[in-house]
């Protein structure tokens, strides 16, 4: 056999890059690091950040102050704000304004009950005044219905006339004729427990 024939008969090197011996180990380490980073990010997202998104709390200093001043539990105030506005200043189609969604008619009632004289509707956009007025009205409703939180919340959502018609101080959730109001009351009471559990220190509970 000639030299050229022997050369042509030899196996030729395969094309492409040869895999380094440590390639698989490096890839495994990279995947492990990616999992660690992803786990760390998920801990952050599903911890404080996600909690703030799903159960926000702002103006806790005002809430604590008004809770002490009006004798209304801070977790209940926070739950009402959550259910009314998710802690965002907004105006409803009915004209309810601010964090606790106070209508002009309700604001007038609060002014009359509290003896205020300098109120302007635009002031409802102010978080401090809005929470003060909303907490004042909650206290009034709790007193009117002898501490019955279901009745007070029904009155806050659907009006005093409806709450009186549904049994007043003797009202139970099943007495509420409006499904929307019944769901509202249930949500507030449920969120109250969550706020008490997650924000005990912030709310001074």
pLDDT one-digit tens code per residue, 87-97: 999 999 888 99
Residue 129's pLDDT is 92
133-154 mean pLDDT: 97
Instruction: Let me know: does 58 contact 72? Beta carbons within 8 Å.
Output: no
Residues whose CB falls within 8 Å of the CB of residue 4, separated by 6 or more in sequence, listed in order? none
Total Cβ atoms within 10 A of residue 21: 7
Domain 60-198 has CATH 1.10.530.10: yes
pLDDT at 76 over 90: yes
Is residue 47 classed as helix, strand or coil in its secondary structure?
helix
The structural domains of the chain, with segments of one domain joined by +, span 25-54, 60-198
DSSP code, position 55: S
Confidence of residue 136 (pLDDT cuts 50, 70, 90): very high
Residue 149's pLDDT is 98
Active site residues: 84
CA–CA gap between residue 127 and residue 197 (Å, rounded):
24
CA–CA gap between residue 49 and residue 32 (Å, rounded):
25
Q: Taking the CA atoms of the chain, what radius of gyration do you get in angstroms?
A: 31
Which range has the worst mean pLDDT, 63-67, 71-75, 102-106, 137-141?
102-106
């Amino acid at each position: 056999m000639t030299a050229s024939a022997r050369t042509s008969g030899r196996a030729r090197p395969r094309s492409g890059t040869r895999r380094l011996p440590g390639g698989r180990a490096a890839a495994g380490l990279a995947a492990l690091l990616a999992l660690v980073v992803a786990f760390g990010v998920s801990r952050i997202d599903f911890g404080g950040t996600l909690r703030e998104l799903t159960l926000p709390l702002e103006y806790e200093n005002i809430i604590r102050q008004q809770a002490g001043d009006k004798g209304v539990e801070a977790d209940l105030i926070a739950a009402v704000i959550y259910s009314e506005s998710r802690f965002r200043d907004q105006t409803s189609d009915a004209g309810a304004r601010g964090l606790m969604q106070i209508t002009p008619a309700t604001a007038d009632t609060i002014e009359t009950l509290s003896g205020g004289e300098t109120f302007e509707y635009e002031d409802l956009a102010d978080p401090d005044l809005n929470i003060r007025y909303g907490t004042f009205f909650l206290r009034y409703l709790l007193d009117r219905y002898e501490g019955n939180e279901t009745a007070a919340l029904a009155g806050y959502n659907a009006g005093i006339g409806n709450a009186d018609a549904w049994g007043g101080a003797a009202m139970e959730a099943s007495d509420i004729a409006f499904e929307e109001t019944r769901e509202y009351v249930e949500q507030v009471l449920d969120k109250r427990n969550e706020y008490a559990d997650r924000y005990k220190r912030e709310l001074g509970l």
